[in-house]
Amino acid sequence: MRPNWAEQMSEDDEKQQSPPSDLEFTSNKARNCNATGSGSGHPEFQPPYPDQVLENVLENVLHFVTSRRDRNAASLVCKSWYRVEALTRSELFIGNCYAVSPRRATARFIRVRALHLKGKPRFADFNLMPHDWGAHFGPWVLAMARAYPWLEKVYLKRMTVTDDDLVTLAESFSGFKELVLVCCDGFGTSGLAVFVSKCRQLRVIDLIESEVTDDETDWISYFPEGESHLESLIFDCVECPINFEALERLVARSPSLKKLRLNRYVSIGQLYHLMIRAPQVTHLGTGSFSPLEVAGQGDQEPDYRTAFAACRSLVCLSGFREIIPNYLPAIYPVCANLTSLNFSYANINTEQLKPIIRNCHKLQVFWVLDSICDEGLQAVAATCKELRELRVFPIDANEDSDSPVSEVGLQAISEGCRKLQSILYFCQRMTNAAVIAMSKNCPDLVVFRLCIMKRHRPDAVTGAPMDDGFGAIVMNCKKLTRLAVSGLLTDKAFDYIGKYGKLIRTLSVAFAGDSDMGLKYVLKGCPQLQKLEIRDSPFGDAALLSGLHHYYNMRFLWMSSCKLTRRGCQEIAHATRRLVVEVIRSADEEEMGDSVGTLYMYRSLEGPRIDAPKSVTIL
């Protein structure tokens, strides 16, 4: 079944076959396109002059086309458009670094200024993948050093980046401006130090949820002297002390600095000094939000409240890594303007939250710990009518702990925050009724991720499976593209998802389902499915094989601790060479006979990769 090219435009362009393949292009040739390159088919009469004009016009027009989906579509019109699009694409997005090789990517797109690259699948975050699995930035940076001397931006997610890579990055691109590393690892403060010292045009350095080794190098002091162009400095995930004096001097000489997110080694007193130097910040990560030493009686404490009041442009607040709640009132002056508030490291209770949240009328994004309890969520629901995204994290991420939030909080949010688009909610107990209520009250939901931490937990009131709740979500939330399910679920839940979840692109399943039918429903019913991650669910080879028609349209399939066998995975691998089928052994598990611990499968133009570690077998 040939995929309908025009419709299959996913956000990834690694799906592109670089030399034009058979049928489509021959027929397109008949449509007055400039036949360049490969000679085949009918000789067409094309006066060269008008086509040159056409190409120039096309080139200019395509400059305005920035959405990668539109560009992917444009590139398929005909060869001429394909060529011009390749020449003019300046931002390259690759959703799976193994789907296409650096060589192929740089050969097609020759004028790239920004690279956006993703590596490991999300379940790697939860220790489900060997640490040395791959996703190395090295080959990419080397290829780009040759191909893109004018590269300005690199955005990486779940990639392994070494100190050497950072050095190469800094040395190869004289105009380099932005580096964003999300959930990356493999580098340390010494690599950072070299990087910041050599990138003289640096505007953005954002380290988000990344693992940074403490090489005891004072990287902050390596920023070059003189006025800096820094607009964004985010290092809240860096778990090592920094030289505060150097940081203060850096902030003082960065007049364009808008985003500053400090790590937990910056005390509230130090934060104060930084804030009065940079009142123009729009995004502030407040560091530890506690003092270095307990202030004695009579010590003069700075007026934190005035410092916050002076930050008139502040819209996004985070940090509070070791918060002492007494200091919270200092943020009152900015609450009314806040659109984003991240309390997900702040162990505060309901009473401490209420006076803050009462003023946050404009809040659109709120991340918080369940320490605020259902009552805290009720307070959020009462005030935050503009809320678009809510994430509630557990303070005690343990199956057996008591959770202070429940269906009560979810219900309250659904009633108060009607514009909600995205929710991530961890809890220990939930009811179908509350989930159904949310499906009806929040029709704009695009992302619904519910994690009932105790596995296989039924409806806390009726004892029924959670099928109907999730069924209502897919039925009523017509814009839903991302879904994560939990609790006791039968195949019926998946039947609903297959029937109604027509726009779903990402689906996460854990400890759910009864039989192969569950997976079959989803593979059959969800045409937009891109990323499917499943763990500990009773789906076997038959279900796996039933999706063969669809896998090339997906970015990846992950199945761990399911009922797959080597034979079943082998069958997929033999059926098509366009999929890479990886079987991953976990370090401390011995596979019994033919059974497969983890399957990670993805489409690729390159075939099996050569950098796989021993724990990975590519079939």
Partner 1 sequence: MEGSVAYENDLHLKATELRLGLPGTDEREEHAVSNVRNNKRPLQEGGANGKSDSQNETAPPAKAQIVGWPPIRSYRKNNFQSKKNESEGPGIYVKVSMDGAPYLRKIDLKVYTGYRELLQALENMFKFTIGEYSEREGYKGSDYAPTYEDKDGDWMLVGDVPWEMFITSCKRLRIMKGSEARGLGCGV
How many residues form the binding site for partner 1 (CB under 8 A)?
A: 31
Position 396 contacts partner 1 (CB under 8 A): yes
Q: Which of 101/428 has CB closer to partner 1?
A: 428
Strands (DSSP E) contained in 271-378 are 283-286, 316-318, 340-343, 365-369
Among the listed residues 227, 303, 399, 611, the single contact to partner 1 using CB under 8 A: 399
Rg value, the chain, Cα: 26
Question: How buried is 595 (Cβ within 10 angstroms: 0-12 exposed, 13-18 middle, 19+ buried)?
Answer: middle
Least Cβ distance, residue 223 to partner 1 (angstroms)? 25
Task: Give the H or E element holding residue 234.
Answer: strand 232-234
Position 558 contacts partner 1 (CB under 8 A): no
Position 347 contacts partner 1 (CB under 8 A): yes
Position 237 contacts partner 1 (CB under 8 A): yes
What is the β-pairing status of strands 114-118 and 91-94?
parallel
Least Cβ distance, residue 502 to partner 1 (angstroms)? 26
Position 234 contacts partner 1 (CB under 8 A): no
- Cβ-based neighbours of 61, under 8 Å, separated by 6 or more: none
Position 535 contacts partner 1 (CB under 8 A): yes
Q: Which of 424/548 has CB closer to partner 1?
A: 424
Among the listed residues 65, 208, 252, 395, the single contact to partner 1 using CB under 8 A: 395
Which residues, numbered 3-42, are part of the site for partner 1 (CB under 8 A)?
Answer: none
DSSP at 565: B
Position 157 contacts partner 1 (CB under 8 A): no
Least Cβ distance, residue 534 to partner 1 (angstroms)? 13
- Contact code string over 440-459 relative to partner 1, x by CB under 8 A: -----------x-x-x----
Please state, in angstroms and rounded to a whole number, the distance separating the CA atoms of residues 123 and 335: 35
Amino acid at residue number 114: A
Least Cβ distance, residue 394 to partner 1 (angstroms)? 7
Please state, in angstroms and rounded to a whole number, the distance separating the CA atoms of residues 372 and 362: 20
DSSP at 348: -
Position 327 contacts partner 1 (CB under 8 A): no
Q: Is 48 left (phi over 0), alpha (psi -120 to 50) or beta?
A: alpha
Least Cβ distance, residue 396 to partner 1 (angstroms)? 7
In total, the chain counts a number of residues equal to 619
CB 385 within 8 A of CB 361: yes
**Which whole-number Å values give the CA distances from 383 to 77, 376, 379, 415, 527, in the listed order?**
50, 11, 7, 11, 38
Among the listed residues 127, 297, 300, 326, the single contact to partner 1 using CB under 8 A: 127
The stretch near partner 1 (CB under 8 A) out of 43-51, 78-86, 247-255, 396-404 is: 396-404
Q: Which of 222/539 has CB closer to partner 1?
A: 539
Least Cβ distance, residue 51 to partner 1 (angstroms)? 53
Of 119, 122, 157, 124, the residue nearest 135 (C-alpha): 119
Partners of 156 in beta bridges: 117, 181
Tokens of 403: 């959770």
What is the β-pairing status of strands 340-343 and 365-369?
parallel
Helices H, strands E: what count in the chain?
21, 23
Least Cβ distance, residue 362 to partner 1 (angstroms)? 27
Among the listed residues 125, 214, 245, 351, the single contact to partner 1 using CB under 8 A: 125
Of 533, 410, 415, 421, the residue nearest 466 (C-alpha): 410
- Within 222-372, residue ranges assigned H as helices are 244-252, 268-277, 304-310, 332-335, 350-357
- Cβ-based neighbours of 44, under 8 Å, separated by 6 or more: 29, 32, 35
Q: Which of 264/550 has CB closer to partner 1?
A: 264
- Cβ-based neighbours of 216, under 8 Å, separated by 6 or more: 189, 240
Least Cβ distance, residue 585 to partner 1 (angstroms)? 14
Among the listed residues 171, 329, 339, 393, the single contact to partner 1 using CB under 8 A: 393
Of 150, 132, 165, 51, the residue nearest 92 (C-alpha): 150
Among the listed residues 81, 93, 123, 289, the single contact to partner 1 using CB under 8 A: 123
Among the listed residues 296, 400, 592, 593, the single contact to partner 1 using CB under 8 A: 400
Which residues, numbered 64-93, are part of the site for partner 1 (CB under 8 A)?
Answer: none
- Cβ-based neighbours of 283, under 8 Å, separated by 6 or more: 232, 258, 259, 260, 261, 314, 315, 316, 318, 340
Position 392 contacts partner 1 (CB under 8 A): no
Position 474 contacts partner 1 (CB under 8 A): no
Tokens of 426: 């961890």
Q: Which of 148/367 has CB closer to partner 1?
A: 367
Q: Which of 453/493 has CB closer to partner 1?
A: 453
Position 214 contacts partner 1 (CB under 8 A): no
CB 562 within 8 A of CB 538: yes
Least Cβ distance, residue 393 to partner 1 (angstroms)? 6
Please state, in angstroms and rounded to a whole number, the distance separating the CA atoms of residues 380 and 374: 10
Among the listed residues 109, 187, 272, 426, the single contact to partner 1 using CB under 8 A: 426
CB 619 within 8 A of CB 569: yes
Q: Which of 83/158 has CB closer to partner 1?
A: 158
Position 591 contacts partner 1 (CB under 8 A): no
Tokens of 521: 């429903």
Least Cβ distance, residue 128 to partner 1 (angstroms)? 5
Q: Which of 411/508 has CB closer to partner 1?
A: 508
- Contact code string over 190-209 relative to partner 1, x by CB under 8 A: -------------------x
DSSP at 15: T
Least Cβ distance, residue 600 to partner 1 (angstroms)? 14
Least Cβ distance, residue 6 to partner 1 (angstroms)? 36
Which residues, numbered 255-294, are part of the site for partner 1 (CB under 8 A)?
Answer: 293
With the C-alpha atoms ordered 432, 437, 443, 449, is the resulting torsion angle positive or negative? negative
The stretch near partner 1 (CB under 8 A) out of 374-382, 393-401, 410-418, 598-606 is: 393-401
Position 321 contacts partner 1 (CB under 8 A): yes
Least Cβ distance, residue 323 to partner 1 (angstroms)? 10
Position 562 contacts partner 1 (CB under 8 A): no
Among the listed residues 16, 344, 565, 617, the single contact to partner 1 using CB under 8 A: 344
Least Cβ distance, residue 292 to partner 1 (angstroms)? 10
Amino acid at residue number 135: A
For partner 1, the binding residues (CB under 8 A) are 123, 125-128, 209, 211, 237, 239, 293, 321, 344-345, 347, 393-400, 426, 451, 453, 455, 510-511, 535-536, 586
